[in-house]
Amino acid sequence: MSGAAPAGGNTVKERADLALNNDFLRKAVRFTTERLRTGKEKAAEDHGNWDEWRERGRQIRLHTIAHLDYYLNLFANNARANGVHVHFAETAAEAVRISLDIAKHVEARSVVKSKSMVTEELHLNTALESIGVEAIETDLGEYIIQLAGETPSHIIIPAIHKNRYQIAELLSVDAGETLAPDTQILAGFVRRKLREKFLEADIGMTGCNFAIAETGSMVLFENEGNARMVTTVPKTQITLMGMERIIPSFADLEVMATLLPRSATGQKLTVYMSGISGPRRSADADGPEEMHIIIVDNGRSLQLGDPEFQELLNCIRCGACLNACPVYRHIGGHAYGGTYSGPIGAVLTPALKKNVAEWDDIANASSLCGACYEACPVKIPLHEMLVYLRRRKLEAGRGDKLEALGMKGFAKVMRSSKRFKAVLKLGQLGQKLVVRDGGISLKVGPLKGWNTYRVAPSLAGQSFREKWPTMEQEIRNGLKEMDPALKSRMEAIVRDRENGGGGKGGHGHHG
Amino acid sequence: MAKSEQHQAWLDGLDAQSRAKQGGFIDGISAKLRRSRPVEPPAHPFRGAPDFWNAFEWPLEERITRFMDNFKAVGGHPVRLADMEAVKSFIAGKASEMSAKYIIRQNQPELNELGLEAALPDAKISVWNSDPNEHWKARAAEADFGVVVADYAAAYTGSITVLSSKDKGRSVSLLPTVLMAIIPAERLHTRLGQVLVNFDRIGRENLPAGIHFISGPSRSADIENDLTIGVHGPGVVYAIIVG
């Protein structure tokens, strides 16, 4: 059942309400994201020159995507020369059809899978089950949520929303005996159970972290060893890869291997990093005899040539933006309603589906604070993309009428200081009707959404602009009394700021 | 043979379809990028790690210390021994301490000369792929110890690199309960890039099917962030540096 739409609620707001009411989920998400976020920050600091590495990572991804036609073609030719059967799928349906065709021809009864977001995107497990093939997730967290019939709520820790008692209950049903809610016992059961599954499975199915164009190799990062199992034991291997997973060379892999594990979990390297270049050689005694790589578009190419969204294809799926996002930390992954959650999901889901209309409300599940950009190891400006998405939604006439009016009205008011003054005065008078204890908690009109969870501050009796002449006066007087050397130094700083670097606003990532 | 001929015919059909589709698929990307497909390799000025990083190197003693610190930090067991004679006694000692009955090892010259068989007369020691009729994956799955000699190692990340071949099974470093990885000191580099560059250098035609970097015991934090060791791969990993 994995791949089914999350239960409860059609909009992010409804699903988030469910999440907000679930106290355990909120605590677990906060705890885990906090641990991953601080782990990442420490790993980046220990490694040093983090911004230079991010910039290098960004340049490699930008270069590869800008020449994706060249590199993808090269990869396909080299993988084929390695003995891989390469397939191209424009749509999810096509990728599913090819996968099922292979499963039928090798007469598969079971498929063991290592973590793959692309197969989540395709709802491939459900499709395999529909032709009577058992699909078994083998990553510990993925196995747990598959038993629960749910979808991953975090890209790195998929079962983040389950506690050990819930997990013990699920695994006890699976085991046919009561298992104690002890991590070692539970993990030990899964190890034994899945050992059998690995050894009897006909197909091993994987995702792909990176594909190396110059050698036709596919690369997997993991900690448990299940991806190695899946690519070592079964006779047939099927790898599903997003068409943008390419990097040119093994030399470039060093940069990705430096950025990805540190950003995902704060590790210097995941326990296993494997480069697979084709099926087993004829004299080898293990590894798959037959290997397929299915290259999937499924909406990715829609981003190519789009100046606002092409950089989305640079994403290396580390999850750092989820851990940094105050909204994700509050509502958890299922509230986003798509395969990908958090800031990347908020942009990627509508981008891949090209139906901004249906998914538009997830762009609002963000406070546009820019923490996602700061966390991103390849510097994708996600917070700006969220604004583009909101703008496109308004342009398509599908926006919140008040927001549209608000954006127009805001522009009109801000264009004239006289009008701004007048509006402010009106507000200062008008709010007298609704202010209680220095705040406004009235839940009507434009304040409804905001005030459901907090109290809007009342407008100050004297606005900043009204205060400014006095403040400016005070500062100037202060300067007069200042030590002349200090004053000239400060003036020099102000001059410098005006000459260079000014007006870049915040992050300066366009530079 | 009828079935396998049929299967081959189906695979050939798939490959013909794939080749036919490739041109259009790639041209579609070129069209989106609003230019024709480049025939020459594009200039890639940012290939690999930054220059300051490529100049970075620790002396041998520091490489060994750093490797051991990193390996220990992730729950692995690093040891440093003087020579292969000491390695033999160490592995034999651990085998009797943990009552290891089944041992599988790679068919590598260093291990053929090691003489583990004589040192452990009571254990059943199998040599990977030494008999074509044996079910080697099952032999590896039942083994208490897997013994390998690393092809490379990198100190900065505490990683061991093993390459597959007919004599070096991927299963030997994966399926046994305990992994014993022997690292000759001269194969220990500072950076990951010093290992990776070899694969670009030898080129596609000479790559093994499997290249595996191993940086500690198998682990998971999927249940309530509680660290579990030995989920699918070996839970006990010895990195034995020699020299």
Residues β-bridged to residue A456: A440
The alpha-carbon gap from B62 to the nearest alpha carbon of chain A, in Å, equals: 17
Sign of CA dihedral B229, A187, A137, A26: negative
- Please report, for the domain that includes residue A249, its CATH number: 3.40.50.10420
Model confidence pLDDT, tens digit, residues B208-225: 999 999 999 999 988 888
Q: What is the pLDDT of residue B40?
A: 94
Clarify whether residues A291 and A209 are in a common domain: yes
Portion 446-465 of A in contact with B at CB < 8 A: none
pLDDT at A64 over 80: yes
Clarify whether residues A415 and A497 are in a common domain: no
Tell me what the mean pLDDT of segment A24-37 comes to.
82
* A52 within domain boundaries: yes
pLDDT at B180 over 80: yes
Q: What is the pLDDT of residue B92?
A: 97
Contact A157 B221 (CB under 8 A): yes
* A54 within domain boundaries: yes
Residue A504: CB atoms within 10 A of its CB come to 11
pLDDT at A445 over 70: no
B37, B200, B225 ranked by CB distance to A249: nearest? B200
* Tokens, residue A55: 């910039």
Question: What is the band of A3 on the pLDDT scale with cuts at 50, 70, 90?
Answer: very low
Clarify whether residues A283 and A236 are in a common domain: yes
Clarify whether residues A172 and A270 are in a common domain: yes
* A415 within domain boundaries: yes
Domain boundaries, position A435: 401-457
Q: CA–CA separation, A377 vs A390, rounded Å?
A: 24
Contact A225 B174 (CB under 8 A): yes
Clarify whether residues A271 and A142 are in a common domain: yes
Model confidence pLDDT, tens digit, residues A71-111: 999 999 999 999 999 999 999 999 999 999 999 999 999 99
Q: What is the pLDDT of residue A2?
A: 38
pLDDT at A363 over 70: no
Question: What is the band of A151 on the pLDDT scale with cuts at 50, 70, 90?
Answer: confident
pLDDT at A501 over 50: no
pLDDT at A506 over 50: no
Q: CA–CA separation, A230 vs A276, rounded Å?
A: 12
pLDDT at A168 over 80: yes
Residues of B in contact with A150 (CB under 8 A): none
Out of A260, A285, A303, a domain closes at: A303
Please name the residue of chain B whose CA is at the shortest distance from the CA of residue A220.
B212
Question: What is the band of A6 on the pLDDT scale with cuts at 50, 70, 90?
Answer: very low
> A170: closest CA among B223, B230, B218?
B223
Clarify whether residues A433 and A498 are in a common domain: no
Tell me what the mean pLDDT of segment A127-149 comes to.
95
Q: CA–CA separation, A16 vs A331, rounded Å?
A: 5
pLDDT at A195 over 60: yes
* A395 within domain boundaries: no
* A424 within domain boundaries: yes
Q: What is the pLDDT of residue B166?
A: 97
Clarify whether residues A477 and A409 are in a common domain: no
Tell me what the mean pLDDT of segment B171-179 comes to.
97
Q: Which of A111-125, A215-229, A489-503 has the lowest mean pLDDT?
A: A489-503
Interface test with B, best of A286, A294, A378 (most B CBs within 10 A): A286
Q: CA–CA separation, A129 vs A446, rounded Å?
A: 48
Tell me what the mean pLDDT of segment A272-277 comes to.
98
Q: CA–CA separation, A100 vs A292, rounded Å?
A: 12
The alpha-carbon gap from B201 to the nearest alpha carbon of chain A, in Å, equals: 10
Q: Which helix (H) or strand (E) holds B159?
A: strand B159-163
Question: What is the band of A508 on the pLDDT scale with cuts at 50, 70, 90?
Answer: very low
Q: What is the pLDDT of residue A30?
A: 84
Residues of B in contact with A265 (CB under 8 A): 221
Could you tell me if A325 and A34 are in contact, meaning their C-beta atoms sit under 8 angstroms apart?
no
* A205 within domain boundaries: yes
Portion 40-59 of A in contact with B at CB < 8 A: 49, 52-53, 56, 59
Portion 34-63 of B in contact with A at CB < 8 A: 34, 37-38, 41-42, 44-50, 52-53
Tell me what the mean pLDDT of segment A42-51 comes to.
95
Question: What is the band of A419 on the pLDDT scale with cuts at 50, 70, 90?
Answer: low
Q: What is the pLDDT of residue A411?
A: 58
Q: Is A89 at the interface with chain B, CB within 8 A?
A: no
Tell me what the mean pLDDT of segment B31-35 comes to.
96
Residue of higher predicted confidence among B227 and B140: B140
Clarify whether residues A411 and A268 are in a common domain: no
Residues of A in contact with B214 (CB under 8 A): 271-272
Residues of A in contact with B44 (CB under 8 A): 63, 248
Q: Which of A156-165, A289-298, A311-320, B139-148 has the lowest mean pLDDT?
A: A156-165
> B60: closest CA among B68, B52, B48, B51?
B68
Specify the length of chain B in residues: 243
Distances (CA, A) of A95 to A146, A166, A206, B5, B138: 21, 34, 14, 25, 33
Q: CA–CA separation, A355 vs A336, rounded Å?
A: 15
Q: Which helix (H) or strand (E) holds A359?
A: helix A356-359
Q: Which helix (H) or strand (E) holds A64?
A: helix A50-66
Model confidence pLDDT, tens digit, residues B105-132: 999 999 999 999 999 999 999 999 999 9
Tell me what the mean pLDDT of segment A438-458 comes to.
56
pLDDT at B78 over 90: yes
Model confidence pLDDT, tens digit, residues B5-21: 999 999 999 999 999 99
Contact B215 A76 (CB under 8 A): no
* A47 within domain boundaries: yes
Question: What is the band of B85 on the pLDDT scale with cuts at 50, 70, 90?
Answer: very high
Q: Is B189 in a helix, a strand, or coil?
A: strand
pLDDT at A70 over 50: yes
pLDDT over 70, % of chain B = 99
Question: What is the band of A500 on the pLDDT scale with cuts at 50, 70, 90?
Answer: very low
pLDDT at B30 over 50: yes
Out of A260, A282, A303, a domain closes at: A303
* A149 within domain boundaries: yes
Sign of CA dihedral B183, B186, B190, B196: negative
> A86: closest CA among B5, B16, B41, B207?
B16
ipTM exceeding cut-off 0.90 for this assembly: yes
pLDDT at A473 over 70: no
pLDDT at A293 over 70: yes
Model confidence pLDDT, tens digit, residues A370-390: 999 999 999 999 999 988 888
Clarify whether residues A412 and A487 are in a common domain: no
CA trace torsion A122, A123, A127, A132 (10° rounding)? 130
Clarify whether residues A29 and A143 are in a common domain: yes
Q: Largest Cα–Cα distance of chain B, in whole Å?
A: 70
Clarify whether residues A223 and A288 are in a common domain: yes
Q: What is the pLDDT of residue A504?
A: 31
Specify the length of chain A in residues: 511
Quote the mean pLDDT of chain A. 83
Clarify whether residues A405 and A497 are in a common domain: no
Domains and CATH numbers, chain B: 1-42 (no CATH), 58-242 (3.40.50.10420)
Could you tell me if B16 and A288 are in contact, meaning their C-beta atoms sit under 8 angstroms apart?
no
Question: What is the band of A503 on the pLDDT scale with cuts at 50, 70, 90?
Answer: very low
Number of structural domains (chain A) is 3
